[in-house]
Structure 1
Amino acid sequence: MRITGVVAPAPIVTVAEVKAWTRIDCADDDALVEGLIVAATQWLDAPSGWIGRALGVQTLEMTFGAECWRRGRLPLWYPPIRDVVSVHYHDADGLEHDLADASWRLLGEALVPEVGVSWPDVECRPDAARVVYQAGYDVVPEPVRLAIMMLVAQWYTSGREAATATPMAEPPFAVSALVQPFRVLRV
């Protein structure tokens, strides 16, 4: 499985909100703050973020191997899943087709065949099927918004260089505590 972002979410917090949180009262660092907001959001948000879920509304593309397709259940990652935009598959001859909307339904966070429908055979390949879907919150939970502002504040005040010699694999405790209830773990 491979997941890529097709359309990124709108910013979850604004420069004005972060400036109020960090008590920055000049416009000189607005571009820096905006960049830190993007970095903090990407560090937490799907598809590569620490939380394992989509925060702002975004469009993702997920590919599936033939074995997943044949099981008849395509689990979509990074909830909350909002809508499926399109489903494509490579038939046994390797030609790509759109799967008709009437052939599938969204069951929780997985795409499954509609009742009484069998999906067509696919070519045995790691990208036998491709699903484009939307995920994310209309209104991002306040603890997540606060965690983003805390990360931006920490990175802004730590100087303009790395705070430690090792890369950050875990968020600071306060940030972790705020987002832990929203975290999706995969095995």
Structure 2
Amino acid sequence: MTTHFDDRGYYERVSGPVEALLSLQDVKRQVCVKHSDDDDILQRLIGTATEFLDGPSGCLGQALVRQVWRCAWSRPPCGNQKLKLPCGPVQKIESASYFDTDGNEHSIDPAKLWLLRRSSETKVFPGTGFAWPSMSDHPEALSITFTVGYGSSADVPSDIIHAAHLMVGNWYEHREPVVVGTIASELPLSAQRLIDKNHVGWVSG
């Protein structure tokens, strides 16, 4: 589990993705490989492409195949303050909890939390008749677990899938020159344009 820290708290992937973004079989068809000698190489390149594209730290700024993330705020929100989630598309809030001013942990009914979805970000905030309760100054004053992603790999937009295939194919064909730290400069222009088209990005706040 990888944990990302910022000045608000932290966020981490709890589980998923539920399946690979690209199947080995599809990639082998794309690169016209019929033997199994390079299966390990192709699997590694699939993983690299997925990591490059997927999640809050990916270049698209969004989750692709369905996965679960947890976000914790160390700065207690107040009233009906809207809080930004690290990536989308957010499907649902799974659970939420907070620490009160006495240091006791309580759960929040996810049905009381609403989502504001926009093209560049998703925010969570208290629904009608509910406000953020008083919270302690705690590293996990408020924690929210949520499901993100388009669904299965078949639900991911086709141009993102195509960009991933172009990346894997390019790296496979030119695998000797590609080294860590130069992946972005090695992207084919067609893949870069598809990535730019689908880039959302994570806006801190």
Residue aligned with 1:27, SS: coil
Deviation at 1:168, TM superposition (A): 3.3
Aligned positions of 1:34-45 closer than 5 A? 34-45=43-54
Identity %: 28
Q: Mark the runs of 5 or more structure 1 residues left unpaired by the alignment.
A: none
Structure 2 residue 155 is matched with structure 1 residue 142: no
Q: 2:108 aligns with which of 82, 99, 108?
A: 99
The alpha carbon displacement at 1:73 in A equals: 1.5
Q: 1:129 aligns with which of 136, 142, 156?
A: 142
* TM-score for both structures, normalised by structure 2: 0.81
TM-score, structure 1 as length reference? 0.88
Describe the SS at the equivalent of 2:78.
helix
Alpha-carbon distance in 1 for matches of 2:11, 2:182: 23
Map of 1:84 onto structure 2: 93
Alignment of 1:102-121 (within 5 A): 102-108=111-117, 109-121=122-134
- Number of residue pairs the alignment of both structures matches: 185
Once the two structures are TM-superposed, the CA of residue 163 in structure 1 deviates from its matched residue by 2.1
Cα contact 2:112–2:127 (8 A) shared by 1: yes
Q: Does 1:163 align with 2:178?
A: yes
Counterparts in 2 of 1:25 and 1:131: CA distance versus 1, 3 Å: same
Q: Is the 8 A contact 2:178 2:186 kept in 1?
A: no
Distance between the aligned counterparts of 2:106 and 2:56, measured in 1?
25
Separation in structure 1 between the aligned mates of residue 186 and residue 106 of structure 2, nearest angstrom = 42
Query: What amino acid is the match of 2:193?
Result: A
The residue aligned with 1:180 is 196
Deviation at 1:167, TM superposition (A): 3.5
- Partner letter of residue 173 of structure 2? T
Tell me if structure 2 keeps the 8 A contact 1:46–1:53. yes
Please state whether the residue corresponding to 2:29 is helix, strand or coil. helix
RMSD over aligned Cα atoms: 2.0
Change (3 A) 1:5 1:170: farther
CA contact (8 A) 1:63 1:131 kept: yes
Q: Distance in 1 between matches of 2:106 and 2:186?
A: 42
Separation in 1, partners of 2:87, 2:34 = 36
Structure 1 residues 116 and 61: CA distance shift in structure 2, 3 A:
same
**Distance change in 2, residues 1:163/1:171 (3 Å):** closer
Aligned partners of 1:36 and 1:155 also within 8 Å: yes
Confirm or deny that 1:4 pairs with 2:19.
Answer: no
Q: Secondary structure in 2 aligned to 1:174?
A: helix
Query: Counterparts of 1:20 and 1:82 in 2: how far apart (Å)?
Result: 32
Shift of 1:106: 2.2
SS of residue matched to 1:156: helix
Change (3 A) 1:13 1:166: closer
Contact 1:5 1:47 (C-alpha < 8 Å) held by counterparts: no
Q: Which amino acid aligns with 1:54?
A: A
Query: Does the Cα contact within 8 Å between 1:103 and 1:119 map onto a contact in 2?
Result: no
1:66 aligned counterpart, secondary structure? coil
Cα pair 1:3 1:47 within 8 Å, conserved: no
Q: Where has structure 1 moved over 3 Å in runs of 4 or more?
A: 164-171
1:27 maps onto 2:33 in alignment = no
| Gap regions ≥5 residues in structure 2 | 1-8
